[in-house]
Amino acid sequence: MKGKELLNQISNVILASATTPDQAIEYFLTNMLEKIKYISIFYPRRKVESTNLLKEKLIPNKLENVNNFIEIYNETVVDITLQWVSLAKKWGEEIIGKALLEASKKFKMESFAHFKDMSEAALNHADNLEFILTHYDLSEKEEKTLTEKRSQLIKISKMTYDKFVNDLKNNSEISEI
């Protein structure tokens, strides 16, 4: 069993053990922030600043990094959404929604740093792709792929804690990228 799967099972057990909606939401938000923090681990190690690198090596490497980052983001969104649905079924949408609004105020300051780190990681990946788009002679296919990935990264960079919480509460889908 992979580490991430084990962590998901543990967090599901903890959420299921909550005896009140307020406690469930506190567990949920703590878990959510840990997952958001995990996304930031996939920060670009270095910014691309030189055209001395061979395009044939640079593009696949950067695309692999970007694809991993987007995949982790999407998996995290799915995990959090599934946990939210589970809580809403257990406690009722209205009750759990009110508990979320109350508890989210408490977590807002802590969450700011995690969402900021995730945003910066996404923007650094996007900057790397922009550098490649600007400084390398690309095929039409390469240009299209890099432009699409860059657009996805910019969408991720705009996700905020308030939007995330409001989307959950309003039963909106937190869109995968």
**pLDDT digit string (tens) for 11-27?**
666 666 778 888 889 88
For residues 1 and 126, give the distance between their C-alpha atoms in angstroms, rounded to a whole number.
Answer: 32
Number of H helices, E strands in the chain: 6, 0
- Give the per-residue pLDDT at 38: 85
Q: For the chain, how long is the longest CA-to-CA vector?
A: 59
Q: Identify the band that residue 97 occupies on the pLDDT scale cut at 50, 70 and 90.
A: confident
Cα 117-99-170 angle, rounded to 5 deg: 70
| pLDDT, tens only, 141-169 | 999 999 999 999 999 999 988 888 888 87
What pLDDT does 175 receive? Answer: 58
As a whole number of Å, the CA-based R_g of the chain is 18
- How far is it, in rounded angstroms, from Cα 165 to Cα 155? 16
Of the ranges 95-99, 116-120, 172-176, which one carries the lowest mean pLDDT score?
172-176
